[in-house]
Amino acid sequence: MNASRTHHEPVSSTSVTAILKRIIAENGREHVRGYIFAIICLATVALTTAFTAWIMESVVNEAFANKRADLVWLICGSILGAFVLRGFAGYGQAVTLSYIGNNIVARYQRRLFSHLMTLSLGYFTESRSAHLAAQISQNINGIRDVLNLTVTSTARDLLSLVALIGVMIFKDPMLTLIVFVAAPPLLYALRYISKRLRSATKESIIFNSHVLGAMQETVQGIAIVKAFTMENALESKIGTTIDAAEKRSNRIARLSERTSPITETFAGVAISSVLAYAAFRSIYGNMLPGAFFSFVTALLMAYEPAKRLAKLQVQMERAVVNARMIYEILDMQPHQREKPGATDLVVSEARIEFRGVSFAYGNNEAVLKGIDFVAEGGKTTALVGPSGAGKSTVITLIPRFYDPSAGGILIDGQNIADVTKSSLRKHIAYVSQQPYLFEGTIRDNIRYGRPEATDAEIEEAARLAYAHDFIKAQPLGYDTPVGENGVTLSGGQRQRLSIARALVRNAPILLLDEATSALDTESEAAVQKALDKAMTGRTVVVIAHRLSTIMKANKIIVMQAGTIAEEGTHDSLAQRQDGIYARLNQLQPKAAADDFI
């Protein structure tokens, strides 16, 4: 299911100014005091820089030309004071902006994670998780960089440049005019470069995220890579992507660094012209060199802030491209929005009813076609059928991972589309066919089922899932780290921990999507006993890999091609001649049956 955008203008088409206004609106008030302090520090840096250029005239004229020894100590002391003040001001602004920048990154990381949790499962099935994670990690600093570039460029570089130009004009207006003759061509050239850099930066970010995503996926699936000797194939595939990313990065480097020869040429023309004019004036006009030295000092000091400002648009374009891609994610609206006035689900019998439910993934062919059935409260309903019949889709619709395209699903007579998702899922425990464990300890992973569960309840759930014994055998027992996705545990152990996580939730509805498929025969028998006990008094909807695990189900629903082909108990269905379930039951002892179900 595709996530839709807001009614606002698409982020990808917004200007640098629009992005800057949005970032300031979202972060300015939060850090206004810090930015004011940083601006004061930056202004101090700018003014002390201009003061250093200003006093050069006194240094040259009074100390060297007029030989005023009484003024030397005053002049030197003032220069020392200016440098010390500039050093502390530079430290203050750097630390303050770092603190603010780090806080902004942290806030957007929290905001992104919180927003991603509101998006539908469809968004994540259409987005590669490794690619998404890499893109976020690369782009999130763009928000911070936009603000920091704006503050430092305005308060330090622009103010320094203005102050130094003021010194230059005051000392010699004619020399200042010579310097600025070459400015318009420089600005035009830099604007042209920044436009070309915008598209190159976005392409580079996308290719780099593909590279990082591919590497992450390869590391996660390294056992399969080695088992099928995929190393060379993957090296070739990733190498092609790396080459493309390298070419984009090289293009960005060429475009970004073109500002250097342009600004250096401008500086060379300006300084050589100034020196020539000043030299002839000094030779033929007998003027004191103090004003000229002061002017040249201001000109040389103005070069660095002017150079940074010349690169500003280029740097800002790169930062804004990153920020845009973050906002593209943040502006995604959840496809499954809560209805206005949605109420909390109230569960009594936990009776689940499907009424004419149809569903399709995106624009694909319908997976479910007019499904009607009832899972009675406190009883077990099993779903069986060939692969692709729609069994797992039925399971995912109950907790509203997706919404049906037609029909409705009711729990105790309440349409789940009219209740809040949090209250719905609070009453559901879910065990998927792919057990997933999160970073942390074994105890942490079980406790995710119910955060307020006590240690005693966690251990009791583990006992019910027949996981307690192997947990106690671990080096640190329940406090043993599980590794990335439980890599230190066997498949059966991971599945039993996921079952324990579902049991500790103590929910009235239990969904089991082939929950014992990863277990060996001995573990399956043990867990099946635990599940039999856990199913008592709960509404259970279960997909079974082996028919032997659902023979005691109160109702068995046989699905085929997205419809319900048969419905009944094990005994009634097994006795039907030419029935799908009867045929599966006859095939069950054979190995081929597991491939068919």
Give the CB-side neighbour count of residue 489, counting CA atoms within 13 A. Answer: 31
- Helical H segments across 140-228, by residue range: 141-152, 159-171, 173-180, 183-220, 222-227
The confidence score (pLDDT) of residue 354 equals 95
CB neighbours of 467 closer than 8 A, spacing ≥ 6?
A: 493, 496, 497, 499, 500
In whole angstroms, give the CA distance from residue 507 to residue 538: 8
The confidence score (pLDDT) of residue 182 equals 59
In whole angstroms, give the CA distance from residue 212 to residue 498: 29
Domains of the chain: 11-330 (1.20.1560.10), 377-390+422-596 (3.40.50.300)
Three-state SS string over 544-584 comes to: CCCHHHCCCCCEEEEEECCEEEEEECHHHHHCCCCCHHHHH
pLDDT per position in the chain (597 positions), as tens? 444 333 344 555 567 788 888 888 888 888 889 988 998 998 898 888 888 888 877 777 776 666 777 777 888 888 889 889 989 998 998 899 888 888 888 888 888 888 888 877 777 776 666 667 766 776 777 788 888 888 888 778 888 888 888 888 887 787 777 667 656 666 666 666 666 766 677 677 677 777 777 777 777 677 677 776 778 878 888 888 888 878 877 887 777 677 667 767 776 777 677 677 767 766 666 666 677 778 778 877 887 787 777 777 777 777 887 788 788 888 887 777 778 888 999 999 999 999 999 998 877 788 999 999 999 998 999 998 888 888 989 998 999 988 898 999 999 999 999 999 889 999 999 888 777 888 788 999 999 889 899 999 999 999 888 889 899 999 899 999 887 667 778 777 888 888 889 889 889 999 988 766 656 677 677 667 767 767 777 899 998 766 766 788 889 999 988 999 989 988 888 888 778 888 877 766 544 344 334
Question: How many Cβ atoms are within 10 Å of 200's Cβ, its own excluded?
Answer: 22
In whole angstroms, give the CA distance from residue 477 to residue 479: 5
In whole angstroms, give the CA distance from residue 120 to residue 135: 19
In whole angstroms, give the CA distance from residue 530 to residue 533: 5
Is 566 within 8 Å of 579 (Cβ atoms)? Answer: yes
Is 427 within 8 Å of 344 (Cβ atoms)? Answer: no
The confidence score (pLDDT) of residue 218 equals 76
Degrees (nearest 5) of the Cα angle 360, 363, 364?
60
Q: Which DSSP state fits 156?
A: I
Three-state SS string over 9-71 comes to: CCHHHCCHHHHHHHHHHHHCCCCHHHHHHHHHHHHHHHHHHHHHHHCHHHHHHHHHHCCCHHH
In whole angstroms, give the CA distance from residue 147 to residue 16: 12
Residue with tokens 């109702």: 555
Sign of torsion over alpha carbons 315, 320, 325, 326: positive
